[in-house]
Amino acid sequence: MKSARQLVDALRIEQPPNKSLGQHFLIDDAILERIITHANLNESDHVLEIGPGPGTLTQVLMQNCGKLTAIEFDEGACKHLDYEFKSQINEGKLDLVSGDALTEKWPEKIDAVVANIPYQISSPLIEKLTQFLRNSRFSGPRICVLMVQEEFAMRLVMPEWPDHSSLGMCAKMDWSSELLDHIPPHHFSPSPLVHSRLVRMIPCEWEYDIDKRLVKTLIQSAFSERRKKIRTSLKSVPKRISRVPGWHAKRWKDAYVELRDEEIMEHRPEELEFEDWIDLAMDFQDGLIID
Q: Quick one: pLDDT band at residue 205, thresholds 50, 70, 90?
A: confident
164 and 125 fall within a common domain: yes
pLDDT tens, position by position, 81-113: 999 999 999 999 999 999 999 999 999 999 999
Residue % of the chain over a pLDDT of 90: 88
Q: Quick one: pLDDT band at residue 139, thresholds 50, 70, 90?
A: confident
103 and 162 fall within a common domain: yes
Specify the CATH number for the domain of residue 271.
Answer: 1.10.8
pLDDT of 20: 77
Q: Establish if 291 belongs to a structural domain.
A: no
125 and 222 fall within a common domain: no
Q: Which residues pair with 97 in a beta bridge?
A: 71
pLDDT of 286: 85
273 vs 168, 181, 198, CA distance in Å?
11, 25, 24
Nearest partner of 188 among 1, 14, 16, 23, judged by Cα: 23
Asked if 85 and 52 touch (Cβ cutoff 8 Å), the reply is: no
142 and 279 fall within a common domain: no
Select from 203, 231, 258 the last residue of a domain.
Answer: 203
Asked if 150 and 85 touch (Cβ cutoff 8 Å), the reply is: no
Q: What is the pTM of this model?
A: 0.93
State the Cα–Cα distance between residues 258 and 264, nearest whole angstrom: 13
pLDDT of 21: 77
Q: Residue 10: CB partners within 8 Å, gap ≥ 6?
A: 2, 54, 80, 84
Domain containing residue 280 = 212-286
Q: Establish if 168 belongs to a structural domain.
A: yes
Q: At residue 25, does pLDDT exceed 90?
A: yes
Q: Quick one: pLDDT band at residue 19, thresholds 50, 70, 90?
A: confident
pLDDT tens, position by position, 235-289: 999 999 999 999 999 999 999 999 999 999 999 999 999 999 999 999 999 864 4
Q: Establish if 159 belongs to a structural domain.
A: yes
Going by the DSSP 8-state scheme, the letter that residue 3 receives in this structure is: -
Q: Quick one: pLDDT band at residue 16, thresholds 50, 70, 90?
A: confident
State the Cα–Cα distance between residues 261 and 155, nearest whole angstrom: 29
Phi and psi based region of residue 92 (left: phi greater than 0; alpha: psi -120 to 50; beta: remaining): left
Q: Establish if 263 belongs to a structural domain.
A: yes
Specify the CATH number for the domain of residue 97.
Answer: 3.40.50.150
State the Cα–Cα distance between residues 115 and 146, nearest whole angstrom: 5
The whole-number average pLDDT for the span 157-164 is 92
Asked if 53 and 11 touch (Cβ cutoff 8 Å), the reply is: yes
| Helices 150-157 & 122-135 angle (0-180, nearest 10) | 40
pLDDT of 261: 94
157 and 264 fall within a common domain: no
Read off the amino acid at residue 129.
L
pLDDT tens, position by position, 206-246: 889 999 999 999 999 999 999 999 999 999 999 999 999 99
Select from 177, 203, 229 the last residue of a domain.
Answer: 203
H/E stretch holding 88 reads helix 86-91
Mean per-residue pLDDT over the chain, rounded: 94
75 and 133 fall within a common domain: yes
* Number of domains composing the chain: 2
